[in-house]
Amino acid sequence: MNGPRAWIGDLVEDEDGQLAVVTDVAAGTVWVLRSADALLAPQWVTTDPDSLAVVQRRADRLRRHPPVVSTSGRRL
């Protein structure tokens, strides 16, 4: 797919149309994905990052939904 290459934290659509979040990029050759709607969902991999369409960059997602921080300043 055309466009910028997906990176860790990006929301993507894979070649099967499944929404996922990139959780890791191992050695720059294996992209690890998990379902976008479940933190404990099974993961899958792709070695073809060009098959992933970036739906939303991590930075954009964090601007819209910043992480929750406790009163002590620790991330929850």
Given a cut of 60, is residue 1 above it in pLDDT? no
Given a cut of 80, is residue 70 above it in pLDDT? no
Domain residue spans of the chain? 11-59
Mean of the pLDDT values across residues 48-73?
81
**In terms of Cα–Cα distance, which of 10, 22, 19 is closest to 46?**
22
pTM over 0.85: no
- CA atoms of 50 and 61, how far apart (whole Å): 21
Determine the pLDDT at residue 15: 93
2-57 residue pLDDT tens: 567 899 999 999 999 999 999 999 998 999 999 988 878 889 999 999 999 999 99
